[in-house]
Amino acid sequence: MAALNVLSVFDKEAAFGRLSPFQCREIREPDIPNPRWLKVRNKACGLCGTDITFIFMKVHPKAFPAATPAWRRKYLGHELLGEVIEAGSEVEGFAVGDRIGLRMDWPTCFEMEIDPPCPQCARGSYLLCENWGRRDPVVVDKGGGFSPYMVMHRSQAFKIPAALSNDEALLMEPVAVAVHGAYSRLPAAGDKVLVIGAGTIGLLTLAVARAVQPDAEYWSVARYPFQAEMARKLGASGIIPDEKNNFPAVADASGARYISRLGNRILMGGFDLIYDSVGNGTTVNNALRWARGGGHVVLLGADFKPERIDYSPVWNQEVTLSGINSHAVESDGRTSWDIAAEMLAGGKLNLDGIITHRFPLEEYQEAIRTFVHKGSKGATKIVIEHR
Ligand SMILES: [Zn+2]
Ligand SMILES: [Zn+2]
């Protein structure tokens, strides 16, 4: 990992090279290991920011996830749309021909068949599984969304309802993330809500929160004009530019008082609720200062670097900071995926325009470059297709 980071400083293409731990290879098609697994042919898979993090190995060794137990190989691609081509005899609820998504990408107690499951898996927070790395994987080379074929344990699959289009099915995973983020702290009627970031997760969080609570006022921090346009289309009543000092603009939007003393910028007042879909040191520090006293900041963005955070707004202004990791079972007992599918099937989310680019697998390097230069390419969700 260290070697690649050093190379990356000089050569942005290092991740594609021979020395990179990231490799695109031809391997044997996987077989199901026992009757509780499915074999899947993938149609397409969205490229996620975390895929890019792993491709360029941007995980800082001191970040929490860097110390969690690892597997020999991680197959990338979790925002997939696949079709069941073989269902083991002990798999219920799935049949050959079903369209499916991948609900649990990382090994959990369910996939490892640990009975009873750990307390996190038992309550549905499968991404917080405490048994990670306790057992060898059932299948090492199971494939992922960027491979044409893969196998998955029955617990990992989510059946796509017939009412959803293929594009909606492809967006199910990021919509489920947005659902988990929004449901972790839903806006109340009359709230002023800010979504930081207008990439896929920021836009989807805006769309989901607004669908659940239409009687709140939504604002978006967007970096590029095409992102601002999408945010407006999804119901943002105003856009805050992603500039170095946007405190005055945030003060105007939220009706707060802006104070700057010796370069120390604060707001008195601010947004009731802030969803931070970027989640780096700058946005978290800003969000804590842009929330009103007693306000709430939800961290959805996954940054793999330890950053310096001034947490004084947490005690001084009683601001709550909470975060989410992907998706889970929500407080009403439904999974984030069930809620996402219901919202899509009910026509509550119009996701036209979120998928901006499609590449065949053979052009994966171009897809990655498009992600890296998403501003100039006008990219939101990039999809890799198995043609
Ligand atoms: Zn993702
Ligand atoms: Zn577990």
Do the beta carbons of residue 171 and residue 164 sit within 8 Å? no
Give yes or no for residue 307 having a pLDDT over 80. yes
Same-domain check for residues 166 and 234: no
Same-domain check for residues 8 and 23: yes
Q: Which residues of 7-40 are buried (b: 16+ CB within 10 A; e: fewer)?
A: bbeeeeebbbeeebebeeeeeeebebeeebbbbb
CA of 255 to the centre of ligand 1 (A): 34
255: CATH: 3.40.50.720
What is the per-residue pLDDT across 244-281, written as a single tens digit (0 to 9) for each?
A: 889 999 999 999 999 999 999 999 999 999 999 999 99
User: What is the overall mean pLDDT for the chain?
Assistant: 93
Report if residue 329 sits inside a domain: no
Confidence at residue 140, expressed as pLDDT on a 0 to 100 scale: 86
Per-residue confidence at 5, pLDDT binned at 50, 70, 90?
Answer: very low
Ligand located closest to 106 CA = 2
Ligand 1 (ion): residues with CB under 5 Å are 48
Ligand located closest to 110 CA = 2
CA of 46 to the centre of ligand 1 (A): 8
Query: What span, in angstroms and rounded, lies between the C-alpha atoms of 79 and 46?
Result: 5
Query: What span, in angstroms and rounded, lies between the C-alpha atoms of 38 and 266?
Result: 53
Same-domain check for residues 301 and 186: yes
Report if residue 361 sits inside a domain: yes
Per-residue confidence at 21, pLDDT binned at 50, 70, 90?
Answer: low
Task: Extract the tokens encoding 11.
Answer: 């050569």
- Residue percentage of the chain with pLDDT more than 70: 95
Same-domain check for residues 283 and 378: no
Report if residue 7 sits inside a domain: yes
Confidence at residue 74, expressed as pLDDT on a 0 to 100 scale: 83
Confidence at residue 25, expressed as pLDDT on a 0 to 100 scale: 82
Same-domain check for residues 8 and 133: yes
Same-domain check for residues 208 and 277: yes
In the block, residue with structure tokens 């609820």: 93
134: CATH: 3.90.180.10
Q: What is the Rg, in whole angstroms, of the alpha carbon atoms belonging to the chain?
A: 21
CA of 113 to the centre of ligand 2 (A): 9
For the chain, counts of helices (H) and of strands (E): 15, 15
Interval 231-255 mean pLDDT: 96
Same-domain check for residues 188 and 283: yes
CA of 107 to the centre of ligand 2 (A): 8
What is the secondary structure of 162-215 as a DSSP string? TTS-HHHHHTHHHHHHHHHHHHHSPPPTT-EEEEE--SHHHHHHHHHHHHH-TT
In the block, residue with structure tokens 């009412």: 163
Ligand located closest to 113 CA = 2
What is the per-residue pLDDT across 330-362, written as a single tens digit (0 to 9) for each?
A: 999 999 999 999 999 999 999 999 999 999 999
- Residue percentage of the chain with pLDDT more than 90: 82
Instruction: Indicate the residue type of 59.
Output: V
Ligand located closest to 52 CA = 1
Residue ending a domain, among 323, 340, 366, is 323
Report if residue 58 sits inside a domain: yes
Report if residue 335 sits inside a domain: no
Range of the domain at 371: 2-171+354-385
Give yes or no for residue 191 having a pLDDT over 50. yes
Report if residue 16 sits inside a domain: yes
Query: What span, in angstroms and rounded, lies between the C-alpha atoms of 358 and 274?
Result: 31
Number of domains, the chain: 2
Same-domain check for residues 280 and 365: no
Same-domain check for residues 227 and 167: no
Same-domain check for residues 7 and 119: yes
CA of 198 to the centre of ligand 1 (A): 15
Report if residue 337 sits inside a domain: no
Non-local (6+) Cβ contacts of 2 within 8 A are none
In the block, residue with structure tokens 């049949």: 95
What is the secondary structure of 7-64 as a DSSP string? HHHH-TTGGGSTT-S------PPP--SSTTEEEEEEEEEEE-HHHHHHHTT---TTSH
Structure-model confidence comparison of residues 213 and 70, the more confident one: 213
Task: State the DSSP code for 329.
Answer: B
CA of 127 to the centre of ligand 2 (A): 8
CA of 340 to the centre of ligand 1 (A): 15
Interval 220-243 mean pLDDT: 97
Residue ending a domain, among 271, 305, 323, is 323
Report if residue 332 sits inside a domain: no
Per-residue confidence at 1, pLDDT binned at 50, 70, 90?
Answer: very low
Ligand located closest to 79 CA = 1
Interval 357-385 mean pLDDT: 96
Per-residue confidence at 134, pLDDT binned at 50, 70, 90?
Answer: confident
Do the beta carbons of residue 145 and residue 79 sit within 8 Å? yes
Per-residue confidence at 12, pLDDT binned at 50, 70, 90?
Answer: low
Same-domain check for residues 25 and 163: yes
Query: What span, in angstroms and rounded, lies between the C-alpha atoms of 230 and 59?
Result: 30
Query: What span, in angstroms and rounded, lies between the C-alpha atoms of 94 and 104?
Result: 16
Same-domain check for residues 166 and 196: no
CA of 77 to the centre of ligand 1 (A): 8
Confidence at residue 70, expressed as pLDDT on a 0 to 100 scale: 73
Give yes or no for residue 11 having a pLDDT over 70. no
Residue ending a domain, among 304, 323, 342, is 323
